[in-house]
Every structure is written in structure tokens, then in C-alpha cells.
Structure 1
Amino acid sequence: MSTLRQESTEDQKLAPIGVIKETLEGLQDDAVAFELELNRLAVRLHYMLEKASICMNNLERHCGH
């Protein structure tokens, strides 16, 4: 975003279209990477919760609580 501010001038309030497009492409790339990481973490969390559930069930079965 600072690139957009740097490219704008007093007369031209917006940065050139090429700079805006580059910035948006970068933001899209970041968003995709962020979404992939969130999905990876969600899958990992799911398996950790499943494992915890199995452990709790085993504990209840063996300890009788």
C-alpha cells in the first residue's frame, strides 16, 4: 500500500494503473497463500481434535469415569 501512496502526486491523487494492478496482484497472491495456510491449519486442527477425542474415549473406557 505504501507503494501506491509513493506513486501518487499532489496533482494525480491515484497511483498509475500499472502500479495499482501490481499491488492488487500482490494482494491476491498474499490472500491465496493466507487461505492455503488457513486450510492447512484447519485440517491439522481437525486431526488433533480427533486424536484428543480418541484419547478421552480410551481414558474413560480404561479408567471407568
Structure 2
Amino acid sequence: MSISKRGRIIATLVPALVAPLASGEPAKPDIMARLRATWGERVFTLKEVAAMRAEELKGEEG
């Protein structure tokens, strides 16, 4: 299957070559392991969360 834009093919979709697991279901990512790897056992205070959020939103007012 091809995806075209303005008459030109920009992408071609092909079946995945990944073999299914024995159970037939794809493996789910271990999100908690990712969080522990990134943050460890760190617990943020409300003040720290508010400061991080304010920094993320800085410059998005308009």
C-alpha cells in the first residue's frame, strides 16, 4: 500500500517482519522500570512540581 501526496508517492506501507511472541501478544513496555531508571526513588514536593510546570509553560502565553 502506498501513501501519496499531490500525485507523488511519499511512503509505502509493508507488513511488519517481527515474529510474534509465543503467547501471540506483543510485549508491553515496563513503564515503572523506565520511571525508576529516570527518576530513581525521587519524590517531588508540590513546590518543585509547580516550578517545573511553570518552566515548561514559560513562553507559551501567546
| More RCO (CA 8 Å, sep 6+) | 1
Q: TM-score, normalization: structure 2?
A: 0.27
| Structure (1 or 2) with the larger CA radius of gyration | 1
Q: TM-score, normalization: structure 1?
A: 0.26
Structure with bigger helix share is: 1
Structure with bigger strand share is: 2
